[in-house]
Structure 1
């Protein structure tokens, strides 16, 4: 039989009086103090360690349940979509701000290249004085609204007659030529301020100085030019439409309602 040992009756050869196994050797020598309060620090440390281990384990088990994994996946998907939408909205807004602030190439005004190009004007017809066929000085803006035809080199009898027929009675028709003889050749009657047929007002004027085109910004005549220039002037004296070259009233017919 094994004899008693220094470990409170435990055998040093692995047995005990009650046939219980001895403590593991790696534990070393265990000393139990007489006053157990001396172990308070060790007890508190072990309790804290057990609490942390126990809480971590319980939370891990709860979080790893299948239902909680599905909830995490749903929450992750639900958050991802709004974040993506907000990010796209921010990117589009920033891109539109850059696009609006970025200087682009200058835009060229769209113009219709036709035989008779009509252009809108906002300038006021100047008070130019021309000469009537009766020798009297006549202000160009003396009778408004008006259609003014410049027929210096144009055989425009048809254009003048068609224009007179197309205008309303309150719209005057003025023709401007380089001389009195040229005005008569252009197809306008050599009259003064006499009202014409159908209650229309037609007057023939001529430009002895030959500079009225320059003052009104009209293109200069060429040697072979046989077209007329036309100005449509409203009742307030503003040039509404300018036609540089034409031989047909169709180039202004749809603009007559503007004056």
Structure 2
């Protein structure tokens, strides 16, 4: 039997002694007074059962031999796979532009002023199918006319070229056709070695010009040959 408390109240007959830290224990005459506490206890028990059920389904409950649960490595692997897939989706997902979905158009450059590199040591052929070394014509303005004859632009270049600078037209045909522009040397590059070396693809309706100094250095590429004012200064500097 339990001991009486400070007020002389002891535990009801038939109940074992209760811990003193519980204080005074009052058993109500009407059990309905404990309905609220009973609901809380049942709610907590249901929550605990659901949690234990999920742990059993996922294999996260400890095994009888004390070893780690089998489902834990699988869960870690699954999370790693999901993170990897999310990262791949973020990288490869198509992004819309900030201008309402319209694509950004990069204008085709008209000139690239820079020291590009050395002119390849190529031998082309002239109208008589005779090999001609490009380096023997330096300094020169080489106009690639396989995509466009552009006679007007070639004429402007030949007129603006200072003394000592050779204006050369190059096609990718088997044999060069005689130039119809005075003072212009016509050559052919049957193997397409010049465009291949410079990685310059032909664009229909445009001629590409290469400005090469007397040392064989390609100092300027004009992808789309336009008015002579755009490259006149560089043309003059080739003769220096």
Normalised by the size of structure 1, how large is the TM-score?
Answer: 0.46
**Which one has a bigger Cα radius of gyration?**
1
Normalised by the size of structure 2, how large is the TM-score?
Answer: 0.50
